[in-house]
Structure 1
C-alpha cells in the first residue's frame, strides 16, 4: 500500500482544482477530432496540438509525431532508474450521426443534472477524452505538489483508434526502443456493471470472414427448378447451422486448441461479482441464457470462444413476394477467440469446413475481415496487486479482476511488439452511450478516476 502521507495533499489539490480540470476537459471536447472523416483532418491535428501543449506545460517532453494518417502524441516524464510505465489513450472521437438524435450540439459540451447525478455531456466525454484527461489531471496534481511524478512515464496518445488504428502497429515497431516500458496502462475501459472498480485482465480476440456462395448463372424460378437445382441460400444455411452442436460447442476441427480454463484466482473473483445472466439479458428484452452448456454467464462472455452469424443475404428481400432460387448467397460471420487460439488456424479450419460441404454445382469464395488474437495478462506482476489495492482504497469497494468479451487489439500489440503486459483500468459506465448520440461521462467517474490514478501512480512507485 502506498504511503498516504505522500498523496493526501495531492488528492486535496485535485479536489480543489476540479472546476479548472473540467474547464480544460470542456475545451478539449469542443475540438471535433473525428478521425474517420477526411473533412476533419485539421481538427484532429488541432486536438493533437492541444494535448501536446498541455503536456508540455506540465514539464513533459512532448511532441506531435506524424504518421501516414493522423498524428501520435508522445510524451516523457523525467528519465531515471525507476521502472517506467506507459500510458495509452486516444484523442480522436466517433462521428456524431444521426445528428438529429442529439439533445444538444455534440461539440458544445456541458455539465448536466440527471436523476443519477451530474454528467459531462458531449462527444468524446467518455470515449476517450474524459478518461484520458483523468490521467493527465492526476499527473498535473502530482507535479503541482511534489514537482515531479512518483513513477517514470511514457505517454502515447493516438488519433486513429476510432478509424481502425492503421498507423499504430508500424509506429510501435519503428519506435519500440523509445516506447518500451515495464507495464502498460490503458484507460479505454469501464467500471464493473454496478460501479465496482475493476482491472480488465483478459480480452477476447476476433476473426471475421465473409462467405460468398454462388450457384446458377441467374436467379431461378422455384416452380421450374425447386427441388432439382442447388439453392445457394439453403446450402449456406445448412453449412452454418452445423458449426454449433446441441451443447453450444463449435464443431470445427482443432477449434479449441489453445483455449484455457480460468485460474482459481480469477474464478473466485468472478463468482464474487454475483453476475445474474437473466438480469443482464433483461436489459435488452431477453431473459433466457443460451450458449455452451455447463459454463457460467461470465465464462461465456469473457472466457469462452464463440461463433456468430452477423448478417446473411440472398434472393429477394424487397416488398411482396418473389419465388426464386437465388444465384448467390452471402454471410458475414465472426469468431471471438480466447486463450492462445491462433486466428490463422481458425480461419484455415473454418474455410476448409465450408469448402468440404459446398456441392459440386456451387462455388465459394471468402473475403477476410481481419483477425487478432486474445490477450491475457500476467496478474502475478506486482503492479496488478498494487493497482488493485489503490482502486479499492479510493472507491471503498474491493476492486475485481475482470474479463471483457470485446477486443482491444492494442493490448495484444503491446505484448507482441513491446513485450509488456497491460493493465486496463477505466471508469466509464454501461450507460455512457459511447458511439451513440448523447454520449456522457459521469462527473463522479471523472473526479474519482483522477483520484484513482493518483493512488495508482503512488502504488507503482
Structure 2
C-alpha cells in the first residue's frame, strides 16, 4: 500500500511535475558556448534549490568549468548515487526549429503528447524523473526512500573536462554502493530497458603530407604523389570485403555474445526494418555474420568521420594538394585497450606510406574503454522486475552502441558499479532541432523510479 500511495501521488501531481520541468527547460544551459556560462550557473542554482526543498543538503560546487550539483539526503542501509546532467547541446541550426527551443510546450502529435524543447529528453526530462519520484515519496512518507546522493554534471555535452578531477578530489563524498544513470533510451517504444554494456571510444586524426606546396596538375600530374589518392588507398585498407576491420590485432579483447543474451536480444522488441528504413537503408552494411543488434551493441567499429583536402570551392582548380586529412573514431567493446589499439592503428597507416609521404597525428585526442555492467548483481533483477510491473511488458537487458564515459569512471575512480535506465525514444531528436520527450516517458519514468527505489533502496 505504501508504494501504491506514492504512485497515486505521482499521477495526481503530474501537471505540477511538468510545470517544474518546463521551468528548468527555459534555462538555456548550453555548456560548450561561453556566452551561456551564467545560464549554466543559473540552472545549477535552480536544481540546488529544488533539491533543498525535498530535504537534500545540496550545493553547486565550483569547477574550472561549470558547477557540479551535489545533494545528500535520506538514510538507510544502502547508499545509492543518481547521476544526470543539466547542460544541453547548442540549438543550431535555429531555422529548423518549429518554435523557440527554450520556450517549452506540451504538444499533441499523432503518436501522443510530447514535451518539445532543447534538453527535454537529453537530459533534463530524464533527470527530473528521478527527482520527481523522490518528491512523491517524500510527500507520502515524510522522508526520502533511503540514503541518496544526487550528482548532476554541467559539462557532459562539452566533453566533461572537469568531471574526472572533481570525482577524484571528492571521491569519499561521491562513493556509494551503486550508481544509477538516467541518460539512455528504450530499445523500442514501450519496452523498458536496462543497459548492460556500453561501447568505448577511440578518436584519431591524421594529416598525410606530400609535396611542399599545392602543385599545378598539368606540370606535375603523373610524376607527383597525390596525398588524396594515397589517403584513399590507406583508408580502403581498413576493412576487407566482408566489413571486418583489417588492422592487425584490432579484435584483441573482443568477446562473442553469450547465447542466452543473444536470444534475449532477439526477442527484445527491436524492429530492424524500421530502424534501417528510418535512415534510408534497405539492409545492414556492417560486419558479415552478425545481426544488426550485435553490430550495434557488441562489435567494434572503425569509422571515417571526416575526409578532406585540396580545393573545395566553387568551380574547378587544377591542383594536386600538398595535404590530405582524415578523422577516425573506433567504438570499443569487451576488454579492448584504447592505448594499445591506437598503436596498432597508427602502425597500420604508417606501414602503408609511400616514399616521399609523411604522417602527422593529432596527439590530443582521447580514448575510453567499453563499460560492461555486472548484471548478476541482485539490483539488476530487482530493477528489471520493477520496470516490467510498470510498463506491463518484460523489461530487457540491452547493449548500447554509444559511449557514456561516466559509467566507466564510476568503476575506475570510485570502484562502484552503475545501472543505466532511461526512458527516451529513438525519435526524440536529441542533439537535433525539435527535440522532444514523450509525456508518457516522463510520467512512467517517474513511476518506474519509485518502483525501483521501493525494491533496492
- TM-score range (shorter-chain normalised) is over 0.9
Equivalent position to 2:56, from 57, 60, 68: 60
Matches within 5 A, 1:99-110: 99-110=94-105
Aligned length: 456
If the length of structure 2 is used for normalisation, what is the TM-score?
Answer: 0.97
1:268 equivalent in structure 2:
263
If the length of structure 1 is used for normalisation, what is the TM-score?
Answer: 0.96
How big is each residue's C-alpha offset from its partner over 1:224-252, in whole Å with a ceiling of 9 and x where there is no partner?
A: 33332211111111111111112221122
Equivalent position to 1:181, from 176, 182, 193: 176
Runs of 4+ with deviation above 3 angstroms: 274-279
Q: Deviation of residue 172 (structure 1)?
A: 0.7
Structure 1 residue 413 corresponds to structure 2 residue 409: yes
Distance, in Å, in 2 between the alignment partners of 1:299 and 1:327 is: 41
1:457 equivalent in structure 2:
453
2:314 equivalent in structure 1:
319
Equivalent position to 1:25, from 17, 21, 25: 21
Contact map agreement 1:276 1:297 (CA 8 A) in 2: no
SS of the aligned residue for 2:249 comes to coil
Q: Deviation of residue 83 (structure 1)?
A: 1.7
1:200 equivalent in structure 2:
195
2:226 equivalent in structure 1:
231
Distance, in Å, in 2 between the alignment partners of 1:276 and 1:94 is: 28
Contact map agreement 2:134 2:145 (CA 8 A) in 1: no
Distance, in Å, in 1 between the alignment partners of 2:135 and 2:441 is: 18
**RMSD (CA atoms):** 1.4
Distance, in Å, in 1 between the alignment partners of 2:283 and 2:157 is: 33
Structure 1 residue 75 corresponds to structure 2 residue 62: no
Distance, in Å, in 2 between the alignment partners of 1:280 and 1:50 is: 38
Structure 1 residue 86 corresponds to structure 2 residue 84: no
Q: Deviation of residue 276 (structure 1)?
A: 4.8
How big is each residue's C-alpha offset from its partner over 1:158-205, in whole Å with a ceiling of 9 and x where there is no partner?
A: 111111111001111111111111111111111122331100111111
SS of the aligned residue for 2:126 comes to helix
- Residues 1:290 and 1:198: Cα distance change in structure 2 (over 3 Å): same
Matches within 5 A, 1:20-419: 20-80=16-76, 82-273=77-268, 275-368=270-363, 369-419=365-415
Could you tell which deviates more after superposition, 9-18 or 282-291? 282-291
Structure 1 residue 422 corresponds to structure 2 residue 427: no
Contact map agreement 1:29 1:125 (CA 8 A) in 2: yes
Structure 2 unaligned blocks of 5 or more: none
Distance, in Å, in 2 between the alignment partners of 1:225 and 1:28 is: 61
Q: Deviation of residue 319 (structure 1)?
A: 2.4
Contact map agreement 1:275 1:297 (CA 8 A) in 2: no
Q: Deviation of residue 278 (structure 1)?
A: 4.1
Distance, in Å, in 1 between the alignment partners of 2:281 and 2:350 is: 35
Distance, in Å, in 2 between the alignment partners of 1:109 and 1:223 is: 58
Q: Deviation of residue 35 (structure 1)?
A: 1.2
Q: Deviation of residue 371 (structure 1)?
A: 1.1
Could you tell which deviates more after superposition, 51-60 or 244-253? 244-253
How big is each residue's C-alpha offset from its partner over 1:275-329, in whole Å with a ceiling of 9 and x where there is no partner?
A: 4544421111111222211111100011000111111112222222333322111
Structure 1 unaligned blocks of 5 or more: none
Contact map agreement 2:188 2:270 (CA 8 A) in 1: no
Distance, in Å, in 1 between the alignment partners of 2:314 and 2:376 is: 59
How big is each residue's C-alpha offset from its partner over 1:383-405, in whole Å with a ceiling of 9 and x where there is no partner?
A: 11010100000000011111111
SS of the aligned residue for 1:349 comes to helix
Distance, in Å, in 2 between the alignment partners of 1:168 and 1:450 is: 27
Contact map agreement 2:187 2:270 (CA 8 A) in 1: no
- Residues 1:27 and 1:279: Cα distance change in structure 2 (over 3 Å): closer
Distance, in Å, in 1 between the alignment partners of 2:312 and 2:25 is: 42
Contact map agreement 1:151 1:458 (CA 8 A) in 2: no
SS of the aligned residue for 2:122 comes to coil
2:433 equivalent in structure 1:
437
Contact map agreement 1:25 1:129 (CA 8 A) in 2: yes
